[in-house]
Chains A and B, each alone.
Chain A
């Protein structure tokens, strides 16, 4: 438990909730990142994608701004093998497209709307994530 960071975790979580809530209040939409990404890709026929692009730019610029202004946070070592990154990324992309959501859409927005679909999805992806890490770190 020596890595436990309760205050930054809770504060960051509240900020995620505020961004999600603001988006619903103003734009009336779910802040589901995989759904936004999917909406930007072929064969999507949505004509107006500007809000999706804007949200994604907001995410990237937040990463850039925070890292520039608060450089004390140590960067994680980039030591994941490219093969694992590609395989994992493909599964995340394919799985979130098939399951209509990820940690943000199902985990945050769905649970906050008391959606049974999202609860089931969240329990499943947390479980298979835990099993995958168990296999990788403790069995192999």
Chain B
């Protein structure tokens, strides 16, 4: 158990350093990326591109092994259906992202950098998540 916890801690730390280096934790930079008709800053395309290419290459190798190194199986999402929840959820998330320039990962990493804005943002995200869960009565797996 201790090994899995340590592995999650290290993975999260590397992920977080990546967010800091790429300035994903700067909401102004994120909003400048979304501002395609204004002072457009394409940096985030390279962040996403760099992350996706790296992950794709490693995932291909990783999925060749039977089980992950510290667990008995891979825990992958099994849903493939394109439903209204997926579309409406992504739509609402994008509006919120465009309002504040924070998505969950960078907002959480920013808690270690500055206080008021990320704290308000993360608290509101938590309330939004709990609100969704209670409205739709869905059990998380």
Smallest beta-carbon distance A45→chain B, Å: 6
Can you sample 22 A-B contacts with CB below 8 Å? Answer: A12-B20, A12-B24, A13-B49, A13-B50, A15-B22, A19-B17, A24-B74, A25-B58, A26-B70, A33-B108, A37-B126, A41-B129, A50-B5, A56-B108, A63-B113, A80-B27, A86-B124, A89-B107, A93-B129, A99-B88, A124-B91, A130-B34
- CB-CB under 8 A for A2 and B39, given A9-B46, A27-B8, A99-B93: yes
Closest to B67 in A: A28
Task: Please determine whether B139 and A19 come into contact, CB atoms closer than 8 angstroms.
Answer: no
Q: List the 7 shortest-distance A-B pairs measured between CB atoms, nearest first.
A: A99-B89, A58-B12, A12-B22, A93-B128, A13-B50, A89-B124, A62-B16
- CB-CB under 8 A for A25 and B86, given A92-B104, A130-B34: no
Q: Residues of B contacting A29 with CB < 8 Å?
A: 68, 71, 74-75
Task: Please determine whether A93 and B117 come into contact, CB atoms closer than 8 angstroms.
Answer: no
Task: Please determine whether B140 and A60 come into contact, CB atoms closer than 8 angstroms.
Answer: no
A52-82, CB < 8 A from B: 52, 54-67, 70, 73, 75-78, 80, 82
Task: Please determine whether B23 and A108 come into contact, CB atoms closer than 8 angstroms.
Answer: no
Give the docked Cα–Cα distance between A5 and B71 (Å): 38
**Which residues of A come within 8 Å of B, CB atoms?**
1-6, 8-31, 33-34, 37-39, 41-46, 50-52, 54-67, 70, 73, 75-78, 80, 82, 84-100, 102-104, 106-113, 115-117, 120-122, 124-134, 136-138
Task: Name the prevailing secondary structure of the B interface residues.
Answer: helix
Give the docked Cα–Cα distance between A77 and B41 (Å): 18
- CB-CB under 8 A for A17 and B52, given A28-B73, A115-B77: yes
Q: Residues of B contacting A59 with CB < 8 Å?
A: 12-13, 15-16, 19, 105, 108-109, 112
Give the docked Cα–Cα distance between A63 and B12 (Å): 11
Give the docked Cα–Cα distance between A106 and B43 (Å): 19
Task: Please determine whether B71 and A116 come into contact, CB atoms closer than 8 angstroms.
Answer: no
The residue from B77, B87, B93 contacting A102, defined by CB atoms under 8 A apart: B93
- CB-CB under 8 A for A14 and B54, given A113-B76, A126-B94: yes
B107-133, CB under 8 A of A: which get 1 and which 0?
Answer: 111111110110011111111111111
Give the docked Cα–Cα distance between A124 and B95 (Å): 10
Q: Residues of A contacting B13 with CB < 8 Å?
A: 19, 58-59, 61-62, 65
Task: Please determine whether A117 and B126 come into contact, CB atoms closer than 8 angstroms.
Answer: no
Give the docked Cα–Cα distance between A62 and B105 (Å): 12
Task: Please determine whether B93 and A113 come into contact, CB atoms closer than 8 angstroms.
Answer: no
